[in-house]
Amino acid sequence: MANAAIKTVIALLRQATPSAREAARRDQAFDRRWGTDTSRQIGMNALDFPTALKKGSFHYQASGAHILDETIMVAGIDPADFTFIDYGCGKGRIVLLAAAKPFARAIGVEYSALLTEIAQANSVAFAIRGGATLVPEFWQGNAADYVPPEGPLFCYLYNSFGAEILAGCLDRLEAAKASDPARRILLAYINPQFGDLVAARSCWRESAPGYDIRVFECVADQP
């Protein structure tokens, strides 16, 4: 109980900093411009997650638009060459922005049916106001069960879940690489709490570091 109270106080203090207030203003401006609902936070207890998955997942909080630009710059890619996948996409803001780049495809993966429904509604509002001509796609379910599509992949993860689900996602991506060794598969991990778990796997090489961003590329397994 005491730990929870301390975490709450720390979170409130962080929200009170000038940079946090400026980020909140940018988030609200995004929603006003596009008629979307992406900035309002939703706690884990309010989401439709089974108890077992709640322990390995984190509350919804949207990524700022600048973070996608920074990850693309750090990775050094041309978005048009890749399918974008946001693992734990929440209300879909980053998927909308990926569609506007545009990536070849923009896909959001989200366990919560509630958040997926909101993301789909946001996609419609974004398109109506001219945000993107590419239609985002959303897949609802456990990210560890998601089978990635064919072709080059740029995967985006904002620390949405814990080590167990992350390991399942990496298994799927490694299998995708094994089925087509010529294609590129990159993972941009923001706020990389379990980044060392990725680095420890033989199929992954860290290709570029950035501030609070680690970019890994899936390569052929080493003997």
pLDDT (0 to 100) of residue 6: 44
pLDDT per residue over 118-140, tens digit each?
Answer: 999 999 999 999 999 999 999 99
Number of H helices and number of E strands within the chain?
Answer: 8, 7
* Rounded mean pLDDT, 167-179: 97
Q: Are strands 105-110 and 83-87 parallel, antiparallel or unpaired?
A: parallel
Whether the predicted pLDDT of 151 surpasses 80: yes
Q: What is the pTM of this model?
A: 0.83
**Would you list the DSSP string of 93-144?**
HHHHHHHHTT-SEEEEEES-HHHHHHHHHHHHHHHHTTS-SSPPEEEES-GG
Question: Between 11 and 36, whose confidence is greater?
Answer: 36
* Rounded mean pLDDT, 74-84: 96
What whole-number distance in Å separates Cα of residue 203 and Cα of residue 221?
Answer: 5
In this prediction, residue 21 has a pLDDT band, given cuts at 50, 70 and 90, of low
In this prediction, residue 41 has a pLDDT band, given cuts at 50, 70 and 90, of confident
In the chain, what percentage of residues exceed pLDDT 70?
78
pLDDT per residue over 46-74, tens digit each?
Answer: 565 565 554 555 555 667 778 899 999 99
Sequence-distant (6+) residues with CB within 8 A of 159 are: 58, 189, 190, 191, 192, 193, 194
Question: Between 39 and 87, whose confidence is greater?
Answer: 87
Q: What residues does 72 pair with on adjacent strands? A: none
Whether the predicted pLDDT of 3 surpasses 50: no
CB 55 within 8 A of CB 44: no
